[in-house]
Amino acid sequence: MSVLSGQRAWLLQRITAIYAGLYVFLAVVLLLARPPADHAAWLATITHPVIWTATAAFAVLMLLHAWIGLRDVILDYVRPFGVRLGALAIVAILFLLLGLWALWILIEAALR
Amino acid sequence: MEFSIYRFNPETDSAPYMQDFTLGDDLVEPGMMLLDALLLLKEQDDSLSFRRSCQHGVCGSDGMNINGTNGLACIMPLKDLKAPIVLRPFPGMPVIRDLIVDMENFYHQYREAEPWLVNDSPEPEVERLQSPEDRDQLDGLYECILCGCCSAACPSYWWNPDRFLGPAALLQAARFIQDSRDEATEERLERLDDAYRLYRCHGIMNCTQVCPKGLNPAKAIGDIRRTMLKRSV
Ligand code: SF4
Ligand code: SF4
Ligand code: FES
């Protein structure tokens, strides 16, 4: 598979969608079944190693999914090369920051 | 019967415009096709320009946008169309004159699909044989008449006609990827695996909806994806 593979992006978009769907479903079920009573309980839930890892993976994969989607939109509609490159760069930087922010929140919660 | 037809002559017009035509009811016969009506309108105004040849849905030359949908005028029953019948050239393609568009890019993308058999094995005595089952794989792929209705209806082809091959060319790519006698399957799949050539297709399925031969380019594209996936795992 080449570096610029269209198949990889297409496949990743589908795999990340399946993961995100499963995560959201399980999260809703879990929160409905055992709603955390207070902040401490919420913290305990989210820092449980399995949930923490699943959530971190969700944040990263969700951003990857959104990146492929937005990249597709930009490749489709933004024709001038410079503008396209600029738009891709802005989205990439934004998503990178969002990802780091999400992970920072999770790490902070785990260190409490 | 009323018509509203897109007119543009680059030698005399600064901009395209819509011209109204009327076909007398006495001239409308049962079983008439749109192309028959166009030929009668051309008798009224012989500057009206459009392509046509076989008049039987075989040559693929009279594709146009009919009441908003791409189709072949020669096999479009007049009675199925709501008047006024609005005729325009294919969307997204450069207009040469009236309903005639420049299909050079369309043919270029067709060539990009390398629509020929690649087989470097020594030629057998008689012919390269295929089992009936293998031959069946080509049904729904080889019948394309290259009319362009599908590609001219595809939003992905409108935006990226220079880099996305478009449904017609991809249908032909699928036709040779499926062919059991072809030896370049790997190379064909590899060439299609970039961000544009195949993967600009988002499964909108306009192509399948308009194909006057009832072919299904969207499915053929899906099949190429599946073949790629099988090869890479
Ligand atoms: S299915 Fe793909 S090729 Fe067909 S119209 Fe939609 S985007 Fe174009
Ligand atoms: S697939 Fe159908 S619509 Fe497209 S060029 Fe071939 S015959 Fe025409
Ligand atoms: S004239 Fe040949 S397909 Fe219509």
The pTM (predicted TM-score) of the whole model is 0.91
Q: Which residues of A touch B200 (CB under 8 A)?
A: 75-76
Identify the CATH class of B2-101.
alpha beta
Structure-block tokens of residue B97: 């004159």
Kindly list the domain boundaries of chain A, sorted by start residue.
Answer: 6-111
Ligand 1 near B201 CB (within 6 A): yes
Per residue in A16-62, pLDDT tens? 999 999 999 999 999 999 899 999 999 999 999 999 999 999 999 99
> Is the CB of A10 less than 8 angstroms away from the CB of B197?
no
pLDDT confidence of A1, banded at 50, 70, 90? low
pLDDT at residue number A2: 65
Structure-block tokens of residue B85: 């019948």
pLDDT confidence of A14, banded at 50, 70, 90? very high
Pocket test for ligand 1, best of B149, B156, B199, B210 (most atoms within 8 A of CB): B156
Count Cβ atoms below 10 Å from residue B199 Cβ, excluding itself: 23
ipTM: 0.83
Question: pLDDT: is A4 or B227 the higher one?
Answer: B227
pLDDT confidence of A112, banded at 50, 70, 90? confident
Of B161, B39, B68, B179, nearest in space to B112 by CA: B161
10-residue averages of pLDDT along chain B (233 residues): 97 97 94 97 97 97 98 97 97 98 98 97 92 97 98 97 97 97 96 96 96 98 96 85
Count Cβ atoms below 10 Å from residue B172 Cβ, excluding itself: 25
Pocket test for ligand 3, best of B33, B55, B100, B210 (most atoms within 8 A of CB): B55
Q: Please state whether the peptide bond connecting residue B94 to the residue before it is cis, i.e. omega within 30 degrees of 0.
A: no
Shortest Cα–Cα distance, B190 to chain A (Å):
8
Kindly list the domain boundaries of chain B, sorted by start residue.
Answer: 2-101, 104-232
Structure-block tokens of residue A89: 């760069």
Q: Which amino acid is at B94?
A: P
Backbone angles phi, psi at B69, to 5 degrees: -125, 140
Superfamily of domain B104-232: Alpha-helical ferredoxin (1.10.1060.10)
Identify the CATH class of A6-111.
mainly alpha
Print the SS3 string covering B153-203: HCHHHHHCCCCCCCHHHHHHHHHHHHCCCCCCHHHHHHHHCCCCCCCCCCC
pLDDT at residue number B232: 85
Q: Which amino acid is at B85?
A: I
